[in-house]
C-alpha cells in the first residue's frame, strides 16, 4: 500500500521531486531500509546520511529526501530535518485518527505498546504506534510520517530530558488524549527537583486538541501539579491509580499462579475484571491508565482487557526467558533497557515475588541523576533487602554508594563493567535461580542478556 507519493512528499516539504515514485515506509537509518522505503538523508554530528544513499538504494529504497544532488530518485529540500518535521505535520494534518500522546518518567514504552495491543485487538490493523523508543525530536516526527492515512488510532510516545522539549513535540503530535504514566526521579541532572520534572512532563497537555482528554496518575504526589497543567487545555481530566478517589482505579488485585495480576477495575459506575499478564503493581497502574485511554477514544474495554492478558514482556523491559545451564535452567528477567530509582524499586519487588531457589540481582548504575546520584543509589539497599536478594552484582562506578550501603547486609560484588558482571554471574548462577538484570541503557547490560539467551554467557 502507498504511504506517500513523490508529489505528496514534495508538496509537504516544499521540495522538488526528481520524478514519480511511491513509498511504503519511511526511515532515516540506512541499516533499516527495506523495499519500498523512503530514506531521509539526515545530517548529524557523527555522520551524514547522504553518504549512505547508495546503500539505501541497494536495500530497496524507492526514493530519498536529500539536501544534496544525487542520481537516485529523490525529493530535494534545503534541510532534511526540517523536511522530516514537515512530512510529520502533513501526516498529522491528513489523518482522521484519534491521536494519543504518552509521556512519563517510567513506563512510556511499555504503556504505548499495551495501548497499541488494546486498540489493535478491538480494531485489527487500524492502530498505528511509534516503534522502539522513537520518542525524541527525530523519533516523534519519523513515527508521525510513518502513520498510514487511513489509521483510526495513533499512539505516540514522547520523551524528554530537558524542559521545553515536550512543548515542541506535542505541537507535532496534537493529541486528542494525552497521558502521563508517572513522575519519578529521572534525568535529575537536568532538573532542580521532581516538581520541575512534573512541569516538563505536563507540557504534553498544551498540544491537546479542542475537546481533548488528559489522563493523569492519581497516586502521584505531583497529581495536583499535573491537573493544573492540564486544566487550561483539556475538556476532560481523568485520573487513574490504585488509591481511592481515582476515576479509574483497582478495587481488587490478586497475584495469579502464572505470576501476573487479576484486577477488578472501576471506571465510573462500571466494573471490569481482567488479568494483567505482566507482574508487579506498576504494571497494574499502567493497565488502569490504558483502560482510561481506551475509554476516552471510544475503544472496546472488554477486548482491551483480553489484550492486556495476552501482553508479552518487551525486550529490555520485562521480557522473561529460561537460560540453559549445566543441570537445568534459571529464570532471567530482562530489564536492561533503562533504570531510575522508581523503576529499580518496582522491578526489585517483582523479583522478590518470584518463587526461586535464590534471587540474584545484576544492577547497572543509574545515570543522569546529578548531585543526588549517590543517595539514590544507596537507597536501593532497602528494596534489595525486601526482595530477599541472595547475591547482588553491582555494575559501574556510580554503584559505589550502594556497595557501601550493602556491607554486612547481603552478599554482593561491585564490578566495573558488563564484561566483569558476566564473568561473576556465570560463576554463581545455578539452576532454579531467578536473576533480574537492570540498569541504564548505556551500561550495556543488554549484551549480558543476549549472551544468556543464546547460551554463550
Q: Go through the domains of the chain in sequence order and give each one's CATH number.
A: 4-79 (3.40.1390.10), 95-310 (3.40.1190.10), 319-453 (3.90.190.20)
d(CA 144, CA 125): 17
105 is in an annotated binding site: yes
Helix (H) or strand (E) holding 218: none
Successive 10-residue mean pLDDT values, the chain, 457 residues: 95 98 96 97 88 96 97 97 98 98 93 96 95 88 97 96 93 98 83 93 98 98 97 98 96 89 94 92 94 97 94 85 94 93 93 94 94 95 96 97 95 96 96 96 95 84
* pLDDT reported for residue 456: 73
d(CA 70, CA 76): 9
* pLDDT reported for residue 421: 96
110 is in an annotated binding site: yes
d(CA 34, CA 68): 22
d(CA 133, CA 135): 6
195 is in an annotated binding site: no
Task: Say whether 220 sits in a helix, a strand or coil.
Answer: coil
Residue written as cell 512519563? 104
Length, in residues, of the chain: 457
19 is in an annotated binding site: no
d(CA 200, CA 188): 12
DSSP secondary structure letter of residue 43: B
415 is in an annotated binding site: no
* pLDDT reported for residue 457: 64
* pLDDT reported for residue 317: 85
Asked if 199 and 167 count as a contact pair (C-beta separation under 8 A), the reply is no
**Residues near 171 by Cβ (< 8 Å), separated by ≥ 6?**
206, 207
125 is in an annotated binding site: no
Residue written as cell 545484576? 362
106 is in an annotated binding site: yes
C-alpha grid cell for residue 128? 498505528
- Model pTM score: 0.85
* pLDDT reported for residue 45: 73
* pLDDT reported for residue 128: 97
Comparing C-alpha atoms, which of 137, 156, 159 is closest to residue 147? Answer: 156
* pLDDT reported for residue 316: 87
* pLDDT reported for residue 242: 95
Amino acid at each position: 500500500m502507498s504511504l506517500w507519493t513523490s508529489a505528496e512528499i514534495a508538496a509537504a516539504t516544499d521540495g522538488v521531486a526528481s520524478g514519480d515514485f511511491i513509498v511504503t515506509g519511511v526511515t532515516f537509518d540506512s541499516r533499516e531500509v527495506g523495499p519500498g522505503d523512503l530514506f531521509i538523508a539526515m545530517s548529524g554530528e557523527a555522520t551524514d546520511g547522504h553518504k549512505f544513499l547508495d546503500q539505501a538504494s541497494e536495500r530497496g529504497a524507492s526514493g530519498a529526501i536529500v539536501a544534496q544532488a544525487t542520481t537516485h530518485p529523490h525529493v530535494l529540500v534545503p534541510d532534511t530535518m526540517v523536511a522530516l518535521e514537515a512530512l510529520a505535520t502533513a501526516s498529522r494534518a491528513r489523518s482522521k485518527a484519534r491521536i494519543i500522546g504518552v509521556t512519563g518518567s517510567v513506563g512510556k514504552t511499555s504503556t504505548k505498546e499495551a495501548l497499541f495491543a488494546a486498540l489493535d485487538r478491538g480494531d485489527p490493523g487500524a492502530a498505528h504506534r511509534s516503534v522502539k523508543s522513537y520518542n525524541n525530536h527525530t523519533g516523534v516526527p519519523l513515527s508521525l510520517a510513518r502513520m498510514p492515512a487511513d489509521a483510526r488510532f495513533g499512539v505516540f510516545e514522547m520523551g524528554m530530558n530537558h524542559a521545553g522539549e515536550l512543548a515542541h513535540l506535542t505541537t507535532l503530535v496534537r493529541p486528542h488524549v494525552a497521558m502521563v504514566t508517572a513522575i519519578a526521579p529521572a534525568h535529575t541532572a537536568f532538573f532542580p527537583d521532581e516538581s520541575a520534572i512534573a512541569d516538563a512532563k505536563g507540557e504534553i497537555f498544551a498540544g491537546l486538541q479542542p475537546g481533548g482528554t488528559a489522563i493523569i496518575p492519581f497516586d502521584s504526589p505531583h497529581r495536583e501539579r499535573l491537573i493544573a497543567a492540564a486544566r487550561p487545555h483539556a475538556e476532560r481530566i481523568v485520573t487513574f491509580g490504585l488509591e481511592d478517589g481515582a476515576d479509574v482505579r483497582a478495587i481488587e488485585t490478586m497475584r495469579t499462579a502464572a505470576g501476573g495480576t487479576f484486577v477488578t477495575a472501576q471506571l465510573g459506575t462500571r466494573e471490569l475484571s481482567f488479568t494483567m499478564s505482566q507482574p508487579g503493581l506498576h504494571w497494574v497502574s499502567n493497565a488502569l491508565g490504558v483502560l482510561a485511554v481506551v475509554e476516552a477514544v471510544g475503544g472496546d474495554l472488554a477486548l482491551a482487557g483480553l489484550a492486556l492478558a495476552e501482553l508479552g514482556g518487551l525486550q529490555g523491559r520485562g521480557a522473561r526467558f529460561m537460560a540453559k545451564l549445566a543441570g537445568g535452567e534459571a529464570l532471567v528477567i530482562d530489564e536492561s533497557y533503562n533504570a531510575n530509582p522508581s523503576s529499580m524499586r518496582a522491578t526489585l519487588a517483582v523479583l522478590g515475588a518470584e518463587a526461586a531457589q535464590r534471587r540474584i540481582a545484576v544492577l547497572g548504575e543509574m545515570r543522569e541523576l546529578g548531585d543526588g546520584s549517590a543517595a539514590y543509589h544507596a537507597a536501593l539497599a532497602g528494596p534489595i533487602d525486601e526482595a530477599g536478594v541472595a547475591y547482588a552484582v553491582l555494575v559501574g562506578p556510580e554503584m559505589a554508594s550502594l556497595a557501601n550501603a550493602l556491607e554486612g547486609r547481603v552478599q554482593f560484588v561491585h564490578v566495573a563493567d558488563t564484561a566483569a558482571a558476566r564473568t561473576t554471574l556465570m560463576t554463581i548462577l545455578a539452576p532454579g535461580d531467578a536473576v533480574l538484570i537492570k540498569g541504564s541503557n548505556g551500561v550495556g547490560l543488554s549484551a549480558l542478556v543476549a549472551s544468556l539467551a543464546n547460551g554463550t554467557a
